[in-house]
Amino acid sequence: MTSPAERNPAVEQLIARSHSLGADPRTTNYGGGNTSAKGTAIDPATGGPVELLWVKGSGGDLGTLAPSGLAVLRLDRMRALTGVYPGVEREDEMVAAFEYCLHGKGGAAPSIDTTMHGFVDAPHVDHLHPDAGLAIATAADGEELTRRIFADKVRWVPWRRPGFQLGLDIAAISNDNPDVVGCILGGHGITAWGRTSDECEANSLWIIRTIDDYIAAHGRPDPFGAAREGFTALPDAERRARALALAPTLRAIASQDRRMVGHFTDTDVVLDFLASQKAPALAELGTSCPDHFLRTKVKPMLLDLPPTAPLEQTIERLHELHAAYRDDYAGYYARNADEDSPAIRGADPLIILIPGVGMFSYGINSQTARVAGAFYTNTINVMRGAEALSTYAPVPEREKFRIEYWALEEAKLQRLPKPKPLAAKVALITGGAGGIGSAIARRFAAEGACVVIADLDAAGAKAVASELGDADVALGLSCDVRDADQVRAAINATVLAFGGLDIVVNNAGLAVSKPLLETTESDWDAEHDVLAKGSFLVSRAGGRVLIDQGLGGDILYISSKNAVFAGPNNIAYSSAKADQSHQVRLLAAELGQHGIKVNGINPDAVVRDSGIFAGAWAADRAATYGVPEEELGAYYAQRSLLKREVLPEHVANVAFVLCTDEFSHTTGLHVPVDSGVTGAFLR
């Protein structure tokens, strides 16, 4: 049987309208707003018609809404809720009552906004958080502006926290005034309605466009004031360099309470705001839309030095501002919390603004960090609109707190799955396009890490990255580990993409198998350039970020059984592997003071998926042992103590656990992953 949400024309129109509205971030913020349709379907229990409400449920985004993201409720039961509504003080209890109005199983959980959709009689309703609508909603004289811009076609609804009562307020306006097409919700957004889906969408867009036109015609030309001397954007290259120089410090600031992933934005919208006279005062007022408080915190942290200030001085100042931010946030919590409030959720900023350079936004994963940045860009647009016509006046602190620490929001957070072991960690894997490297990348991504795959084989690196997910999960890039500039560029790209670095895996490699007398100088150099020098360059560039961040970290070396075992015909490869193994010990000794662990893995005979074994190496090894090439994997297995063939994922398993808290007290270790080779026992 199909679910009630499917194959109903009202639902099809609703989905199409939602996608169209959700496609433009100025129409509503990511994940924000909700849409609905009312219609009739056949009730499978009675065979008769039943009036239903389809409304976007909790979570998800309008732009990608699917029928499964809709909550489906019976209108007769919804309407009956007014009879049991205990009043605004206990309005949160009504969320549980929605569960008793659901029609059929499946579908999304009804959100707090379900009331406004259900009680407005019009069959189609949009509730959105457009930048333009919020500009009026947050203007000090928003009510007066609404009257001036819309005469009586759009009404003002004073701020109140989203919930049952707000739905009743909106429904009263809508149901009693047939000429009114929507309303501006003070401090919050807009709601519009229509008899058809097209009419509803047209009304929503008309409200937004009318405000935009009004601001263009009547607004001040420079709502943020003139540019501050010295605070304008640095030229591109200098800006990026400065962002990179500051990123480790900023990530440490954002991660004092909990490790965060970062996202960097240096659009003109951000840079122009940060250069402006009004930026400090406006930033202090914070964001307004209720959707924003959890993602951006109530206000950002803004650097008060120009981008040309000496780096040392800037870093020192950032630490002072961080301490002040934490005090301020703790004060905000203490002023507003009561005995029922959830515990404080950490006092570090989620948005850090650096004039002349850009915005760093943070979250528990890359998507969250990116969306936080998008939300603050929305806030800048809102402030610009409000200041063009009036004065930006977001809802008071107490109301912000009531949203940020709302019991219903807390319950949602509590329901989130436990973070994965590598959540909020950023890993760079050299040679990640190859057999072992790609297995490590896959495992790390599955465990929650953001992964950068750096390989000489750019196409291969990109292919592995896109297999793992979108740009929020993985990045594939071209990098020759023999070249210090390319290594630095790869580390920089990692830091700009994900805000920092936590795990470096030296895995790139190649193998040649020749007797001493046939080994050429170029064989020797090829091995030592990639394995010895390449690892050194990657550890050096990555280590600099790890040290600057001060958040510890892991450096792994995929060394080899051959670093220990002295087999024949292997002088160039095995001695370069031994060099890598000693780098593990040397760096473990040197970097321990920074909390950075350095460990090695000694695999052996990983034939499957290995580029090395696809080359001449396999033929040489097969000839050396006198077995057919295709039986090499099996040959190695029977030669081992455990008689098991070693696969890339076995190496990846160990790479993963070495980077978890289970190995928090282990550094300078080499772990064999060779099914047991007595000749390679460590002693």
Ligand X SMILES: NC(=O)c1ccc[n+]([C@@H]2O[C@H](COP(=O)([O-])OP(=O)(O)OC[C@H]3O[C@@H](n4cnc5c(N)ncnc54)[C@H](O)[C@@H]3O)[C@@H](O)[C@H]2O)c1
Q: State the nearest-atom distance from the C-beta of 431 to ligand X, in Å.
A: 3
Q: What backbone torsions phi and psi does residue 424 show, to the nearest 5 degrees?
A: 70, 10
Q: State the nearest-atom distance from the C-beta of 594 to Zn ion, in Å.
A: 45
Chain-centroid distance of CA 84 in Å reads: 41
3-state secondary structure (DSSP) of residue 197: helix
Q: State the nearest-atom distance from the C-beta of 189 to Zn ion, in Å.
A: 5
Instruction: Write the DSSP string, 435-452.
Output: HHHHHHHHHHHHTT-EEE
Q: Closest Cα partner for 597 from 588, 607, 605, 609? A: 588
- Provide the sign of the torsion angle of the four alpha carbons 237, 242, 248, 252, taken in this order: negative
Q: Which residue has the tokens 């350095």?
A: 598
DSSP 8-state class, residue 224: T
Q: Considering beta carbons, is residue 287 or 581 the nearer one to ligand X?
A: 581
Burial (Cβ within 10 Å: 0-12, 13-18, ≥19) of residue 582: middle
Q: State the nearest-atom distance from the C-beta of 28 to Zn ion, in Å.
A: 9
Q: Considering beta carbons, is residue 113 or 472 the nearer one to Zn ion?
A: 113
Distance CA 218, CA 205 (A): 20
Site for Zn ion in 156-195 (CB under 5 A): 189
397, 335 Cβ separation under 8 angstroms? yes
Instruction: Write the DSSP string, 164-179.
Output: HHHHHHHHHHHHH-TT
Decide which of Zn ion, ligand X, none touches 169; Cβ closer than 5 to 8 Å per partner kind. none
* Tally of CB atoms within 10 A around 172: 14
Q: Closest Cα partner for 413 from 294, 300, 257, 291? A: 294
Longest CA–CA separation in the chain, Å? 96
Q: Closest Cα partner for 479 from 425, 437, 521? A: 437
Q: Considering beta carbons, is residue 186 or 648 the nearer one to Zn ion?
A: 186
Q: Which two tokens stand for residue 7?
A: 């194959």
Instruction: Give 197's strand partners.
Output: none
Q: Which residue has the tokens 């405000």?
A: 211
User: Where on the chain is the footprint of ligand X (CB under 6 A)?
Assistant: 430-431, 433-437, 455-457, 460, 479-482, 507-511, 530, 534, 558, 560, 603-606, 610-613
Task: Write b or e for each residue in 56-88: b if 16 or more Cβ atoms lie within 10 A of its Cβ, otherwise e.
Answer: bbbebbbbebebebbbbbbbebbeebeeebeee
Q: Which residue has the tokens 């297999």?
A: 467
Decide which of ligand X, Zn ion, none touches 482; Cβ closer than 5 to 8 Å per partner kind. ligand X
Q: Considering beta carbons, is residue 201 or 604 the nearer one to ligand X?
A: 604
Q: Considering beta carbons, is residue 170 or 441 the nearer one to Zn ion?
A: 170
Residue at shortest CB range from Zn ion? 189
Decide which of ligand X, Zn ion, none touches 603; Cβ closer than 5 to 8 Å per partner kind. ligand X
Q: State the nearest-atom distance from the C-beta of 529 to Zn ion, in Å.
A: 58
Site for Zn ion in 335-354 (CB under 5 A): none
Q: Is 635 a catalytic residue?
A: no
Q: Closest Cα partner for 538 from 489, 471, 499, 474? A: 489
Site for Zn ion in 187-246 (CB under 5 A): 189
Which of 30, 573, 635, 636 is catalytic? The answer is: 573
Q: State the nearest-atom distance from the C-beta of 25 to Zn ion, in Å.
A: 15
* Tally of CB atoms within 10 A around 526: 18
Q: Considering beta carbons, is residue 373 or 434 the nearer one to ligand X?
A: 434
Distance CA 72, CA 109 (A): 9
Decide which of Zn ion, ligand X, none touches 549; Cβ closer than 5 to 8 Å per partner kind. none
Helix spans in 191-235 (H)? 197-218
Decide which of Zn ion, ligand X, none touches 392; Cβ closer than 5 to 8 Å per partner kind. none
Q: Considering beta carbons, is residue 180 or 185 the nearer one to Zn ion?
A: 185
Q: Considering beta carbons, is residue 220 or 608 the nearer one to ligand X?
A: 608
Distance CA 250, CA 565 (A): 45
Q: What strand order describes the sheet that includes 503-506?
A: 474-478, 450-455, 426-430, 503-506, 553-558, 596-603, 670-673
Q: State the nearest-atom distance from the C-beta of 290 to Zn ion, in Å.
A: 6
Q: State the nearest-atom distance from the C-beta of 557 to ligand X, in Å.
A: 9
Site for Zn ion in 571-630 (CB under 5 A): none
Decide which of Zn ion, ligand X, none touches 433; Cβ closer than 5 to 8 Å per partner kind. ligand X
Q: State the nearest-atom distance from the C-beta of 582 to ligand X, in Å.
A: 15
Q: Considering beta carbons, is residue 170 or 439 the nearer one to Zn ion?
A: 170
- Phi/psi-derived region of residue 670, left when phi > 0, alpha when psi is between -120 and 50, beta in every other case: beta
49, 43 Cβ separation under 8 angstroms? yes
Residue at shortest CB range from ligand X? 434
Chain-centroid distance of CA 649 in Å reads: 27
Decide which of ligand X, Zn ion, none touches 387; Cβ closer than 5 to 8 Å per partner kind. none
DSSP 8-state class, residue 530: I
Q: Which two tokens stand for residue 141?
A: 């004289």
Q: State the nearest-atom distance from the C-beta of 658 to ligand X, in Å.
A: 15
Q: Considering beta carbons, is residue 191 or 580 the nearer one to ligand X?
A: 580
Distance CA 586, CA 552 (A): 17
Decide which of ligand X, Zn ion, none touches 495; Cβ closer than 5 to 8 Å per partner kind. none
Q: Which positions are catalytic?
A: 573
Positions touching Zn ion (CB under 5 A) are: 189
